[in-house]
Structure 1
Amino acid sequence: MSSWRVCIIGAGDNVHVQRWVHGLAARGLQMSVISTTPAPAPAYAVPLLSIPTARAGMTPAARLATLLRGWARVPALVRTLHPDLVHLHALPLPAATLFLRRVPRLIISAWGSDVVQRDARKARLYPALLAHASAVTATSHYLAQVTAGYLRRPRPIEVVPFGVDLHRFTPAPQAPATLRIGTLRHLEPNYGIDVLLDALPAVLRALPLERCVIAGDGSLRDMLQLRAVALGVNTVLVWPGRVPHPAVPDLLRGLSLFVNPSRAEAFGVAALEAQACGLPVVATRVGGLPEVVRDGITGVLVPPGDPQALAAALIELLRDPARRATLGQAARAWVAERYDWQHSLDQMLAVYRQALER
């Protein structure tokens, strides 16, 4: 195994791409990276190449030029790295599939919006790329089903989740003395932060909530902050902005419970990290979240887009510290049983082994 050479193609500035590279390198694989975003070289102690990719607002001519300077060069870049396997994290823009089909021994991992946000060009071009792949993985059973919808012929799609490092994500020595809730999401429409804000007035009328942390950043930040003022809940809110991944465990350990009010969610790694810290999770019943949050056992599931149901679930748990403790203990055990990062690495190595044998 130590002689395997694997090239990962993906967003090099993404913490989960970095975790896969570092985790697989620690298992003895010789890793390299072709990054589709500007990636800080110190984040990697492996060969790192970058390609430009199209962004919103580009003219058609600029998009074509970027495609030719970027994805069109990938087959040649791969040849310079001499990998045994190439692992694509997240399906690319449809035009790039024409070049990736020239890459041998390709593993494809669907991540979420890459396949969930379906359009006519993806429906036309993704099937051939998925058929070309030596193996296909997805982070959840929900996402595997969505990805299977692109296949012209059935084939196995292995579910390999983003695991949690249980040595870093650990429970606090004791629960906070005051009631604190929080979430850690991109401030974008899919993640339902507006629903959480709409639920807060009822929560504040029912009990003495000391703090609600809304960590993350995004295009809706200003609008959400104005909404909080209009609702009269801004006095309990803390907006720390984007939180570096190494600082996430400390943020979570300062909470009484975690809120995941998404309208859409392919997997739910934030909910898993919270559960690893011994927190019960109140989440919406969408996408992959019912797979990672066990309703009534490690948390509570509510309908998406329903602030009344969200408020009721929050109030019930915040009023019952004994139940929060029971759910939190079960949550930690659940993550250890099913979503330990080392187990995720084992699963991915098994995918690699099978692909090489085929």
Structure 2
Amino acid sequence: MRIVHVSDCFPPRTGGIETQVSDLATYQVAAGHEVHVLTGTLGPDGERGGALQDVRGVQVHRLGARMPFELPVNPRGPHLITQALRAVQPDVVHVHAGVVSPFAYDGARLAIAAGLPTAITWHCMLDGIAPVLHRAVQLSHWRTVPAALSAVSSAAAERVSAVFEGQRVDVLPNGVDLDRWAPRGDPDRADRPGERGPLRLVATMRLAPRKRAVPLVRAVAEAARRLPPDRLRLTVLGSGPARGAVQAAVEDSGLEHLVDLRGQVPREQVRATYEDADVFLAPAQLEAFGIAALEARAAGLVVVARRGTGIAEFVVDGVDGLLVEDDDDMAMAIVRLARDGALLDRMAAHNRSRRPDFGWQRVLRAAEVEYERARSLVGTH
């Protein structure tokens, strides 16, 4: 099958959509497909305007332009997308959308207009803009768009369904390499038998306001106030525009001796950090899926996350971790795990011995179902 993915963002940018589109394309190549990616993201050396690169067997078409703040857009994007689709002649076009995805939406519009089978997956929560999008859809031809619509979790799919009223919206989940993230050593062993040293917390995220690293620091500070001295340790992996604000929150809370802001690190260092941690914290309220949380869960960590997000797809409250209502509740969950070693050990043992069902073979099968549905919709409207 000849597959074209369309995404505003792609490596070398880092983030959830970038990682998933890259990994999905790579696994599809390994499965024997011819895979192309059309993206508005410039290459590592600034490649743009139609430059073609081979990335692990994936043909990446760099259709972006030099823009302020490195925005992955191009005024000539529609023209370049049209040219690329004509040249490649794909069997299916898979569009990956976020809240603001002008390049991806152009790709969807042009692919549908060309009569190509089109699948669209939303990697975001549409909270706040769903009513506006719903009205726009109802007043346009998108009210009955002939495309296979999906989202990365049930929570995200509910928002998409509210926009595309009456249209089917499936769940096409993200995936991880379960072997790569599997716990090392005996999965049945207790993590630290008989020892109740500092509870080792970790969070991996882009340091941007929507990921809520500053409220996370404040929640950890509140938990620390309720516990004996030096009962907690927090490692934050990731970088971004909010790093200064996060550092200031650490200093204002007096947590310099408890918090390690380690910055952006390679995946292998993330994996090594998880090996020496107990609990993964996910404070974001609008988490459509939570790839970092899934990787941590696959590595055997207990996960504490906000209720109502995509993380609930793979974390059952009281089994894989704890789901909380707000920041105060997260602070109390941290206190609970620091005090209740039996609960912590029970959930950790469960997570080390049972893999989450989000490996790439499942995701590849789910994607093929969406592609077949996209083909069945061509010419139906």
Q: Is TM-score (shorter-chain normalized) higher than 0.5?
A: yes
Identify the match of residue 136 of structure 1 among 131, 146, 149. Answer: 149
Match of 2:259 in 1: 237
- Equivalent in the alignment of 2:84: 77
Residue among 145, 149, 158 paired with 1:145:
158
- Partners of 2:62 and 2:137 lie apart in 1 by 24
Q: Deviation of residue 185 (structure 1)? A: 1.1
1:301 partner letter: L
Q: Does the 8 A contact of 1:209 with 1:236 survive in 2?
A: no
**Contact 1:18–1:43, Cα closer than 8 Å, also in 2:** no
One-letter amino acid matched to 1:150: V
- Residues 63-212 of structure 1 mapped to structure 2, 5 A cutoff: 66-67=74-75, 69-90=76-97, 92-93=101-102, 96=106, 98-103=109-114, 104-113=116-125, 115-116=126-127, 118=129, 120=132, 123-124=135-136, 128-129=141-142, 131-152=144-165, 154-173=166-185, 175=191, 178-205=198-225, 206-207=227-228, 208-209=230-231, 211-212=233-234
User: How far apart, CA to CA, are the structure 2 residues paired with 1:100 and 1:349?
Assistant: 18
Cα deviation digits, residues 85-133 of structure 1 (max 9, x gap): 11111153287365444241111111105x4452747852696457434
Instruction: Find the partner of 2:337 among 317, 320, 325.
Output: 317
- Structure 2 residues without counterparts, runs of 5 or longer: 12-17, 45-52
Deviates most, 69-78 or 23-32: 69-78
For residues 42 and 321 of structure 1, the distance between their equivalents in structure 2, rounded to whole angstroms, comes to: 49
Q: Partner of 1:167: helix, strand, or coil?
A: helix
CA distance in structure 1 between the partners assigned to 2:67 and 2:137 by the alignment: 19
Which stretches of structure 1, 4 residues or longer, exceed 6 Å deviation after superposition?
Answer: 53-58
Structure with greater helix share of residues: 1
Q: Does structure 1 residue 347 correspond to structure 2 residue 347?
A: no
1:233 Cα shift?
0.5
- TM-score, normalising length from structure 1? 0.86
What corresponds to 2:61 in structure 1? 49
AA aligned opposite 1:170:
A
**In structure 1, what is the Cα distance between the partners aligned to 2:161 and 2:68?**
28
Once the two structures are TM-superposed, the CA of residue 211 in structure 1 deviates from its matched residue by 2.5
TM-score, normalised with respect to structure 2 = 0.81
Q: RMSD of the alignment, in Å? A: 2.8
Offset of 1:357 from its aligned partner?
A: 4.8
Say which structure, 1 or 2, has more relative contact order (CA 8 Å, 6+ apart): 2
How far the C-alpha of 1:265 sits from its partner, in A, is 1.2
Specify whether residues 332 and 54 from structure 1 end up closer, same or farther in structure 2 by C-alpha distance, changes over 3 A only. Answer: farther
Ranges in structure 1 where 5+ consecutive residues have no aligned partner: none
Mean CA deviation greater in 96-105 or 84-93? 96-105
The corresponding residue for 1:12 is 10
| 3-state SS of paired residue (1:149) | helix
